[in-house]
């Protein structure tokens, strides 16, 4: 298996460009909070021969594959089995008290999508699992089997932004009375049957439901809401964080958390801002950047990406 053929890091050159200023100091610490198959990290280790990598991933298979890929840099890396909101503990376990540059490449990884038996892809029949860490936690089949109609509707609406959430929730409840729903193919059939004929050509009916189940199973948005402040808290002055998001819910979370971090804490009505109220961070890109048309054509997984970046400019008070 040639990882360079099956895994193309998204917006790699832009990530390098944005994080490079924070990696110029001797022994700079680079955190890959979503290590995956190690494509981004390999590039950073090659281009910055003095940096130290702390790589985080909740997926044991990803850690194993990345470890093999990054073996030539073994003396400069520490790989940690954890969710990305565990960044502070991961840094401490690797002997570091801060980070200089951090990358979060969110969402489901190429490894998870391409391994059919993980159940992430609605286009392939497989056990309905969807756990990013298959060693723990409930599966998508557990959610489908145990959640009530109201809860199913809630996650489909909130995490999938699915307009037919109620219809799909009712269809699942009815179908599971007949037989357990344990495979992705079964769920796809149920959703297709419940989709009005007029909407059958408006995109695959399973896309948003599968996204919602994945987010619910892995607690992705809750972890993200904890991870951004945790990551910002580890950054040294001049340190930078880049986040790649692939769906609107993630991007809205990142946008809001970055806005909070770059806002003054001065009480309203003060005639001037005291130094202690000045923001500790500044945005280093305007809004959200997209992949180029050329990259999106070359790597379809780059099409939905939204990149945001932030830099610490002062110590915490």
| Residue whose C-alpha is closest to residue 33's, from 74, 83, 68 | 83
67 is in an annotated binding site: no
CA of 114: how far to CAs of 135, 203, 308, in Å? 19, 21, 26
39 is in an annotated binding site: yes
Residue 259: CB atoms within 10 A of its CB come to 10
| Residue whose C-alpha is closest to residue 64's, from 115, 101, 111 | 111
What span, in angstroms and rounded, lies between the C-alpha atoms of 238 and 257?
19
Nearest 10 degrees: CA dihedral of 220, 205, 295, 33? 10
Query: Which ranges in the chain belong to alpha helices (H)?
Result: 3-6, 12-19, 39-47, 60-69, 87-93, 110-114, 140-146, 149-160, 165-176, 184-194, 207-218, 220-234, 248-261, 293-298
84 is in an annotated binding site: yes
Grouping H, G, I as helix, E, B as strand and the rest as coil, residue 14 is helix
Is the CB of residue 238 less than 8 Å from the CB of residue 315?
Answer: no
Is the CB of residue 27 less than 8 Å from the CB of residue 101?
Answer: no
38 is in an annotated binding site: yes
Query: Checking DSSP bridges between strand 29-32 and strand 99-105, what pairing results, if any?
Result: parallel
98 is in an annotated binding site: no
Binding residues: 38-40, 57, 84, 105, 112
Binding residues for S-adenosyl-L-methionine: 38-40, 57, 84, 105, 112
């Amino acid at each position: 298996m040639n990882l360079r053929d099956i895994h193309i890091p998204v917006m790699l050159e832009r990530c390098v460009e944005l994080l490079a200023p924070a990696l110029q100091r001797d022994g700079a610490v680079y955190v890959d909070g979503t290590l995956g198959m190690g494509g981004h990290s390999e590039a950073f280790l090659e281009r910055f021969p003095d940096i130290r990598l702390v790589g985080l991933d909740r997926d044991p298979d990803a850690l194993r594959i990345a470890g093999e890929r990054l073996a030539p840099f073994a003396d400069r890396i520490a790989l940690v089995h954890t969710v990305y909101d565990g960044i502070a503990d991961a840094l401490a376990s690797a002997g570091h008290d801060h980070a200089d540059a951090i990358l979060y490449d969110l969402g489901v990884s190429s490894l998870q999508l391409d391994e059919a038996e993980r159940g992430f892809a609605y286009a392939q029949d497989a056990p309905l699992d969807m756990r990013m860490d298959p060693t723990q936690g409930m599966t998508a089949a557990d959610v489908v089997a145990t959640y009530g109609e109201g809860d199913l509707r809630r996650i489909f609406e909130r995490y999938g932004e699915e307009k037919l959430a109620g219809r799909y929730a009712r269809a699942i409840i009815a179908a599971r009375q007949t037989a357990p729903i344990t495979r992705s193919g079964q769920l796809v059939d149920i959703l297709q049957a419940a989709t009005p004929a007029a909407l059958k050509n408006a995109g695959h009916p399973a896309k948003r439901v599968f996204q919602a189940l994945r987010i619910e199973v892995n607690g992705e948005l809750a972890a993200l809401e904890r991870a951004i402040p945790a990551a910002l808290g580890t950054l040294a002055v001049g340190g930078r964080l880049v986040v790649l998001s692939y769906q609107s819910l993630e991007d809205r979370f990142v946008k809001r958390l970055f806005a909070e971090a770059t806002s003054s804490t001065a009480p309203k009505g003060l005639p001037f801002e005291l130094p202690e109220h000045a923001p500790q961070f500044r945005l280093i890109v305007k809004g959200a950047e997209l992949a180029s048309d050329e990259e999106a054509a070359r790597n379809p997984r780059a099409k939905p990406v939204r990149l945001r970046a932030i830099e610490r400019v002062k110590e915490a008070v």
